[in-house]
Amino acid sequence: MDQNQQYLRKIYKDMGIEEEVFGFCAQVLYDLKDRFEQVDKVAEAGQLKVLSAMQKNRVGEQHFMTSTGYGYNDDGRDTLEKVYADVFHTEDALVRPHITCGTHALTTALSGNLRPGDELLSPVGLPYDTLQGVIGIRPQKGSLAEYGVKYRQVELLPDGTFDYPAIRAAITDKTRLVTIQRSKGYLPRPTFSVKQIGELIHFIKSIRSDLICMVDNCYGEFVETIEPSDVGADMCVGSLIKNPGGGLASSGGYIVGTKECVENAAYRLTAPGLGKELGANFGVNRSLYQGLFLAPEVTAGALKSAIFAANVYERLGFTCVPDAREDRHDIIQAVILNSAEALKAFCCGIQAAAPVDSYLTPEPWPMPGYDCDVIMAAGAFISGSSIELSADGPLKEPYCAYFQGGLTWHHGKFGIMRSVQELASRGLIKISGIHSK
Ligand SMILES: *Cc1c(COP(=O)(O)O)cnc(C)c1O
C-alpha cells in the first residue's frame, strides 16, 4: 500500500471509519475506474460547453454588479440568460433568483403557456408530487384546473417505456402542451435518457407539430453531453439549487426554450408586457455565473457518489435503483434498506458526514403530503439544496433511502462510507467476509 493510501486510512480512522469499512469501500472503488472515466468525459464536455458560452457572450466583471428597484438595463442578468440559452442551445432563457424553486419554474412555464380551455398532457404517468397540486390533479386553490386547463395523463407501460398508441389517442385538438418529466423523482420508474425523450418528442410532433413539448429537467442537467433542448424540447425547466446552480446559487430557477415560450413564461413571472425587462438581481449574479461554471464538475461528483453508493450497497446485499451497472440519466440513487432501523442509520450517517449541522440527529416526522413519517438528512450551505449531500426516505415498506448530491466527489464518498459505518456499528450489516468480485 502506498504512503498516501496509508495516510488516508489514518485520516478516515480519525473521522470514525473503521479499517474493514475503509478496506471494503476501497475494493469497491477499484472496480469503478472505467465508469468514473466516462463520467469525467461528460463533465469535460459540459465544462467546455459552459466556458464557450461565457466567452462567446463576453462575460465581464461588470456583469457581477448589483441592481435595485425595477432592474432596468441589468446587463449582468441579460447576459446570464444569453449564456444559459447558448449552453442549452435554445433561442432564449429566463434565469432568475426570483423563481423560488423548481416547482415555481415549472408553474411559471405552464401557466404562461396555457390558456383556459387548453389541455395539458403528461405522457409519462403521474408528475412530481408538488406539480400535482399545481395542475389540479390534487385539488388545490389557484391550480391550473381552476383556470380551466384540462389535464390528461397516459401511464407508462409496465416496463417503463412509452405507450405510443395511448399517447396518440390522448392528443386532441385541444391539446396545447405536453409535459415530460425526465427524472423519476421519487417514483418507482426509470429516469429517461435524453435520447428516449427525443424519440417521444419526435413522435408527439409527428402527430401535431404545433404542440409545445416541455421537459421537467430537474436533476438531469449535465448528466449527459446533450440536454432535452438538443432533441426537440420547446422548453427545459429546472431549479438552481440542483445541478445547474453548482451549489453556489443561493436560490432561483431557469426556463430555456423558444423565444415565444420563454416570453410567455416571463409575462407570467413579472407581468404581461413587462416580461424579461424587469427584475433586480440584488447582487446575486456572480454566484449564478460561478455556479453554472462549476455545475458540470459538481454534477459529475454527485454522479460518482451515486454510482459508488449503488455499488457499495449492492455488494452489501441491498437492492439499488438504478443498479450498480446501469447508465445514469439523473443524480438520484435509491437504496432499498428493508427496515426502519437501517433507513435511520443510513440517514444518521449522511447527516454525520455533513459540513453543516453534522452534530444533529435526524428524526422521522410527519410531513405534509405523506401518509407516513419521513426522515431527512441534510447539512447544506444552501437550505434545502439537493445538489449538496442529502438523503431522505418515507418510514414505510420497503424503507427506501433516496440519496443525492455531494458538492465534491470526495465528500459524497465520505458520506457513503459514513453511512456504511453507521449500519455496521449498529450491527445491521457485517462487513468482514465480503470480497471483491
Ligand atoms: C426537485 C424537483 C422538482 C421541483 O421541486 P422543488 O422542490 O420545487 O425545487 C420538480 N420535478 C422534479 C422531477 C424534481 O426532482
Tens-place pLDDT, residues 85-107? 999 999 999 999 999 999 999 99
Helix (H) or strand (E) holding 184: none
Per-residue confidence (pLDDT) for residue 1, from 0 to 100: 66
Per-residue confidence (pLDDT) for residue 104, from 0 to 100: 97
- Number of CB atoms found within 10 A of residue 271's CB: 10
Per-residue confidence (pLDDT) for residue 66, from 0 to 100: 96
Per-residue confidence (pLDDT) for residue 2, from 0 to 100: 86
- Centre of ligand 1 to C-alpha 218, Å, is 6
**pTM (2 d.p.):** 0.96
The 10s digit of each residue's pLDDT in 359-397 is 999 999 998 767 789 999 999 999 999 999 999 999 999
- Centre of ligand 1 to C-alpha 242, Å, is 9
| Cα distances (Å, whole numbers) of residue 385 to 134, 213, 245 | 21, 27, 10
- Centre of ligand 1 to C-alpha 346, Å, is 23
Helix (H) or strand (E) holding 69: none
Residue for cell digits 440519496?
403
| Cα distances (Å, whole numbers) of residue 65 to 73, 250, 295, 362 | 12, 16, 22, 39
Residues facing residue 179 across a β-bridge: 214
Per-residue confidence (pLDDT) for residue 369, from 0 to 100: 66
Whole-angstrom Cα distance, residue 415 to residue 397?
24
- Ligand 1 contact via 290 beta carbon (within 6 Å): no
Residues near 43 by Cβ (< 8 Å), separated by ≥ 6?
A: 222, 296, 297, 299, 300
- Number of CB atoms found within 10 A of residue 173's CB: 7
- Ligand 1 contact via 243 beta carbon (within 6 Å): no
Burial (Cβ within 10 Å: 0-12, 13-18, ≥19) of residue 132: middle
- Number of CB atoms found within 10 A of residue 334's CB: 23
Residue ranges in the chain whose pLDDT is less than 70: 1, 369, 433-437
